[in-house]
Amino acid sequence: MDIKAQLLQVKTDFESDLENTENLQLLNEIRVKYLGKKGVITSVLKSLGSLSVEERKEVGLIANQIKDFIEESLKVKEEKLKAKELEEKLKREYLDVTLPHSWHSIGYSHPVIATLNEITSIFVSMGFSVESGPEVESEDYNFTMLNIPPHHPARDMQDTFYLNNGMVLRTHTSPVQIRTMLKKKPPIAMVAPGRVYRKDLDPTHSPMFHQIEGLVVDRDVTFRDLKGVLKIFLETIFGKDIPIRFRPSYFPFTEPSAEVDIGCTVCKGVGCKVCKETGWLEILGCGMVDPEVFKAVNIDPQEYSGFAFGLGIERIAMLRYQITDIRLLFNNDMRFLSQFEGIG
């Protein structure tokens, strides 16, 4: 076959190769096959040297036309294939923005923690600072410096977990009163939320529960101040119309002492199982700081006076959400807990 015929054959072969090419990788192989260094066109062009000048001109012209044709055709096909690939990719990666999204819950506060945070923030809004202390506490801070000497029967009021090393699991948040008064000089207005422990287990008592302690120490602090602060707090949390009563009581670290009752939130004072038919619910303990406590932390009781209070958080959460068994709060049953989504 002469060179001209060869070239025409090359063109025909190229056209059929191109026709059968359906992706960019094959297209590149065709480019190499026809236009590469060792490609068909290059080798035809190299062989032109063996021709006469006339023939070389003629064949050279045809060869270059075919080369241009191949280059142009490759370019057009490349664009087509690229467009096709893009279209397929878009189809493959189609995103239906109207589909419902998969649900990931972001979590929410436990009803006890939500109540604790809410109570803390009410006192913070009245100017109280927030203090903390350890859950493993010395007997001194948990009892002795709070005017409960060793072997005093008052220690039995709070069934205590004793540890082997002579420490205790704190039975109340009151030791944070001692820690704060040792650390800070009056005026003091602080609350101390935290976990406490007692050997207790029944529908209204748990071996681990939460308390929040309050302490105010300054010159001329009176029982009226205590009543005012607690009234604001209880009305904020239970509503303006909540009946409140102060009942004389006894705590070794306050004198005089009181317990505060609110009108039963379940029966509205008529009498029911929750309030044991009394119409009232005990909500917290409080009183004026006993001079013996001031002496233990080197604060002069002639110069300063103060009040303190302590309340159980679970008790408040149970009243607010009408929970009848404290153990529900600690079983971690999602059917129970999920009812509190969005409360805090």
110 touching ligand FA5, by CB under 6 A:
no
- Is 314 a binding residue for ligand FA5 by CB under 6 A? The answer is yes
Nearer to ligand FA5, 118 or 213 (CB): 213
Which residue lies nearer to ligand FA5 by CB, 63 or 260? 260
Give whole-number Cα distances, 104 to 101, 107, 109, 297, in Å: 9, 9, 16, 51
Closest-CA residue to 310 (of 227, 214, 217): 214
Interface with ligand FA5: number of residues (CB under 6 A): 25
Touching ligand FA5, residues 1-40 (CB under 6 A) = none
In the bound state with ligand FA5, the residue whose beta carbon lies nearer, of 123 and 251, is 251
Candidates 211, 230, 238, 319: give the one binding ligand FA5 (CB under 6 A). 211
**Interacting residue with ligand FA5 among 17, 200, 225, 292 (CB under 6 A):** 200
User: Rounded CA gap, 101 and 222, in Å?
Assistant: 59
**Matching residue, tokens 């082997």:** 164
Among 33, 56, 205, 227, binds ligand FA5 (CB under 6 A): 205
Residue 191, phi then psi, degrees to nearest 5: -120, 150
Q: Which of residues 254-273 bind ligand FA5 (CB under 6 A)?
A: 254
Select the residue interacting with ligand FA5 from 192, 285, 294, 296 (CB under 6 A).
285
Q: Is 180 in the site for ligand FA5 (CB under 6 A)?
A: no
Chain centroid to Cα 22, Å, comes to 53
Structure tokens at 9: 């054959």
Contacts of 244 (CB under 8 A, 6+ apart): 230, 231, 234, 260, 261, 262, 263
Does residue 193 touch ligand FA5 according to CB under 6 A?
no
Least Å distance, CB 215 to ligand FA5, is: 8
Q: How far apart (Å, rounded) are the C-alpha atoms in residues 141 and 232?
A: 30
Q: Which of 172, 178, 226, 260 binds ligand FA5 (CB under 6 A)?
A: 172
Applying CB under 6 A, the span of 25-33, 63-71, 81-89, 280-288 interacting with ligand FA5 comes to 280-288
- Please tell me the distance from the alpha carbon of residue 252 to that of residue 291, in angstroms, as a whole number: 11
Which amino acid appears at position 104 of this protein? Answer: H
- Do 299 and 217 contact (CB within 8 A), yes or no? yes
Given 147, 306, 310, 329, the residue binding ligand FA5 (CB under 6 A): 310
Nearer to ligand FA5 by Cβ, of 14 and 309: the residue is 309
**Amino acid identity, residue 216?**
V
Query: Is 198 an interacting residue with respect to ligand FA5 (CB under 6 A)?
Result: yes
Max Cα–Cα distance, the chain, nearest Å: 130
State how far the Cα of 64 lies from the Cα of 21, in Å rounded to an integer.
23
Contact residues toward ligand FA5 (CB under 6 A) are: 158, 172, 174, 198, 200, 205-206, 209, 211, 213, 251, 254, 282, 284-287, 308-312, 314-315, 326
